[in-house]
Structure 1
Amino acid sequence: MSHGNATYRIWLELLSEKPVYSTHEHHMESHKQQQLNLDRLFNQSYVGWCKPAPANDRDLRAAWLDGIRTNTYFSWLQKALCRIYDVDEITADNWDDLSVRISAAHRNPDWHLDVMKEHGGYAGFLEDCYWDSGSDVGYPEFVTPIYRLDMWMMGFHAESLTNEGTSAHALFAQPPSFEAYMERFEEELRGRRGRIVGLKCASAYQRTIGFQAASREEAANVFGKHPSETTQAERNAFGDYVLARGLELAEALELPVQFHTGLAQLSGSSPMLMEPLIAAHPRNRFVLFHGGFPWIYETAALAHNYGNVVIDINWLPLISTSAAIHALNTYIDVLRDNGSIAWGGDTWTGEEGVGASMAFRHILAKALSERVEDGSWTAKDAERFADKIMFENTLRIYGLESKRSLFVYE
């Protein structure tokens, strides 16, 4: 074993004893978790984005596993399942037995959170419940909600839906006027302030994140038009106006705003497209998700030039572990303040959440051990940074100081 590898393992062991507080999950409610088996776990994860798990056929499963085994989505979910259920690897031969064990474990309605706590070291997380925005999925002591802006940004018409099929018009008993719509939007944000700690914009899945200035008149002119009667420019203008109003409210309510950047609609999801918006709103805190992958340098440049930018590397260690190590080292180098970086798992299930935590601890141990090994940092420097990115920054950025009592460890 090389000295460097030994140093990495020392750091990985140290980090495994520390808690994490995730900035971003899509964690499903308990009754949905209780329906899980191995097939559903695969399909309710990023593994399913690659290719759905095959039907109940040994040869098809063997071929599927052979093809996907090197993908990082699969490898970290497999590592989590091996840790939780004490198996060496997933094979076509043990598939059904493991599936039965997963299903049996989930008869305990709290199993999904128990595994995150015990095997993932989670002390809590922020929830982006896009199907019921602002929900804590029934676990207020462990889960803190974020509220999505997208259904309002897309809501110029009741049939204009978000990427997930949601609409702000579901909140109205009767079709609203534009004025009533905007009034309700403000009421929603102000009324939820005591329960939510941030806002989220995931528009990159449906449109460019090159947001532009738009007038109230432009937005009002689009409101009420059927989607088939609008142009993309008109739809964007409506969303741009609502977002601008959302940023005003976020500033007044002291809420950070999370933005999906990177992998989505690739032609319009580069974080650099957001520079004019970031520059125009210096008193808003912009949290750029996923490291902006694949534009990791662009994200670093924005954080270098703008003090109101926070880099969140949630999802990135699962997308590409090697890219996440490189990105983390880059961000460490260029950040104005190392309090402006955070991490989240960005998963739906307890098991995949464990895999996300394992991936994060791996990339962090890699980065820290290399810096200590080559003398760039002292061990004290490295551990101080670890505490910041693992939980301290999240508590401060989102005003969760009351949660600090959760972070008592040996």
Structure 2
Amino acid sequence: MQPDALETSLYDAMAALDIIDCHEHLGPEKDRVESQVDVFTLFSHYTRGDLLVAGMSEPDFRSLSDHDIPLQRRWELFRPYWQEIRWGSYARAALLAAQKFYEIDDINDSTFELLSERMQQANTPGIYQRVLADTCNIRAALTQCGSTDVGTPLLKPLMPVFFDTRSWEFLSNEPCVADTEVSSLDNYVEAVRRYVVRVKSEGAVGLKMVSNPYGTPNREEAAAAFDALRADSEMYLADPNPLKDYLADQAIAIGTEEGMVIAVHTGYWGDFRQLDPLHMIPMLQRHEKAKFDIYHLGYPWMREALMLGKGFPNVWLNFCWTHIISQRFAVAGLDEAIDLVPMSKILIFGGDYSMAVEKVYGHLVMAREDIAEVLARRIRRGLISESQALELTRKWFWDNPKDLYSLDL
């Protein structure tokens, strides 16, 4: 069904708003500009999952980015699976990007070469400014690329505090202790503290972790596990374990002391049974002064994530990624969120892309559509006026993330 006049009016008003993009994986622009790009750059991220589920082999998928293979040959590998995934939300963002930036109305046998040529021609310094700032009105994008050296004030880094405690090799190579000699659990925690202080001084505004089935932290058990790993390079701990529980808890405490937001991946990814948002409840209870940014609305556990926002003052709900997982889900989630949580708790958009910066625009179009649909329905029911609805969009796109992350914009 085509949007009606009210939805179009809401969409157009949102298109004029300044935006804070609440989650990306964009690295420094030079990484993009120095890369070879073509049509398959638009399929280098989440569409990988759809292609593999549709039957494409992993080697064939990897070959799509192999520029030693002729473009025509790569297209022939891709074409059968494109017909299966092109109607999904992931693919739609690519189509919207191709239309907006390269004047290509469809990606098909007749256009893939021209699209590739135009992408190569446009892959020049300033592409972030042209796509993010000029086209999307994004004034800041919170990004997680594993570095604070992002090359532009447009990108605001968040840094990882993931702890792979399965072996000493993994644990001793975590970013927070890289190039640091650690001989005890206390040494390790101090290294984490130095890491958090350092990345904050370099511009990081938050820390990133994942929702796992964490146990109650116990320092003695964690120290015993640490010492055992350090003494035996062949030792392998199950996951979760007391060491991971303790380190994750300490990272939250340190980040909170330093005024850092704790961003949390919840829901869909890999074996997503391990990423249920409800795993975070003990952390939310222990760290009442922390600020938790709960990503992806916990999909597929949307209502569980919503109830975290309903029940915990230290939780914010982030709709990053949601609009390209499923627009139907995002619409339903936003509609229920309005019923359930204070409007100050909603962060409405994060593109969640890395190399294909153009798709941020495609995702943003879809987000605006979803928001317009939800708010128009409420306006028609007499629950809210159009001016009140637009005030909410300003809060969700700008005020809330600015306040949560204390951004100086």
- Cα distance, 1:300 vs structure 2: 1.0
1:50-199 correspondence to structure 2 within 5 Å: 50-51=50-51, 52=61, 56-57=72-73, 59-106=76-123, 108-130=124-146, 132=147, 135-139=148-152, 141-150=153-162, 153-154=163-164, 158-160=168-170, 167-172=175-180, 174=181, 176-194=183-201, 195-199=203-207
Inter-partner Cα distance in structure 1 for 2:261 and 2:31: 29
Show CA shifts across 1:101-160 (max 9, x none).
101110x22213321222222111111113x3xx14211x2111112111xx22575521
Residues 144 and 196, structure 1, Cα contact 8 Å, conserved in 2: yes
Inter-partner Cα distance in structure 2 for 1:278 and 1:387: 28
Tell whether 2:405 aligns with 1:398: yes
Tell whether 2:390 aligns with 1:383: yes
Q: Say if 1:321 and 1:221 are closer, same or farther in 2 by CA, change over 3 A.
A: same
Aligned AA (2:50): C
Inter-partner Cα distance in structure 1 for 2:221 and 2:97: 50
Tell whether 2:286 aligns with 1:298: no
Inter-partner Cα distance in structure 2 for 1:42 and 1:21: 23
Inter-partner Cα distance in structure 2 for 1:182 and 1:368: 46
Aligned AA (2:132): M
Aligned AA (1:391): W
1:11-410 correspondence to structure 2 within 5 Å: 11-34=10-33, 35-51=35-51, 52=61, 56-57=72-73, 59-106=76-123, 108-130=124-146, 132=147, 135-139=148-152, 141-150=153-162, 153-154=163-164, 158-160=168-170, 167-172=175-180, 174=181, 176-194=183-201, 195-202=203-210, 204=211, 209-223=212-226, 225=229, 228-233=234-239, 236-264=241-269, 265-335=271-341, 337-342=342-347, 343-348=349-354, 349-400=356-407, 402-403=408-409
Instruction: Give the aligned partner of residue 406 of structure 1.
Output: none
Q: Residue 26 of structure 2: SS of its match in structure 1?
A: coil
Residues 165 and 237, structure 2, Cα contact 8 Å, conserved in 1: no
Q: Say if 1:166 and 1:249 are closer, same or farther in 2 by CA, change over 3 A.
A: closer
Residues 61 and 92, structure 1, Cα contact 8 Å, conserved in 2: no
Q: Say if 1:82 and 1:36 are closer, same or farther in 2 by CA, change over 3 A.
A: farther
Q: Residue 208 of structure 2: SS of its match in structure 1?
A: strand
Q: Say if 1:39 and 1:190 are closer, same or farther in 2 by CA, change over 3 A.
A: same
- Cα distance, 1:332 vs structure 2: 1.2
Show CA shifts across 1:282-313 (max 9, x none).
22111110000011111111111111111001
- Cα distance, 1:25 vs structure 2: 0.8
Show structure 1 runs of 5+ residues with no match.
Answer: 404-410
Q: Say if 1:177 and 1:272 are closer, same or farther in 2 by CA, change over 3 A.
A: closer
Runs of 4+ in 1 over 4 A off after TM superposition: 58-61, 155-158
Q: Residue 367 of structure 2: SS of its match in structure 1?
A: helix
Q: More deviation in 372-381 or 177-186?
A: 177-186
Inter-partner Cα distance in structure 2 for 1:143 and 1:117: 11
Inter-partner Cα distance in structure 1 for 2:149 and 2:378: 38
Inter-partner Cα distance in structure 1 for 2:397 and 2:404: 13
Residues 200 and 258, structure 1, Cα contact 8 Å, conserved in 2: yes
Inter-partner Cα distance in structure 2 for 1:227 and 1:83: 53
Say what the alpha-carbon RMSD is for the aligned residues. Answer: 2.3
Q: More deviation in 69-78 or 118-127?
A: 118-127
- Cα distance, 1:36 vs structure 2: 4.2
Aligned residues: 384
Aligned AA (2:340): V
- Cα distance, 1:247 vs structure 2: 1.8
Inter-partner Cα distance in structure 1 for 2:199 and 2:280: 26
- Cα distance, 1:26 vs structure 2: 0.4
Instruction: Give the aligned partner of residue 408 of structure 1.
Output: none
Inter-partner Cα distance in structure 2 for 1:161 and 1:372: 53
Residues 206 and 260, structure 2, Cα contact 8 Å, conserved in 1: yes
Residues 160 and 227, structure 1, Cα contact 8 Å, conserved in 2: no
Residues 197 and 255, structure 1, Cα contact 8 Å, conserved in 2: yes
Aligned AA (2:278): M
Residues 154 and 238, structure 1, Cα contact 8 Å, conserved in 2: no
- Cα distance, 1:59 vs structure 2: 4.8
- Cα distance, 1:166 vs structure 2: 5.4
Q: Say if 1:30 and 1:238 are closer, same or farther in 2 by CA, change over 3 A.
A: same
Show structure 2 runs of 5+ residues with no match.
Answer: 52-60, 65-70
Q: Say if 1:227 and 1:115 are closer, same or farther in 2 by CA, change over 3 A.
A: farther
The percent of aligned pairs where both chains have the same amino acid is 22
Residues 166 and 237, structure 2, Cα contact 8 Å, conserved in 1: no
Aligned AA (1:120): C
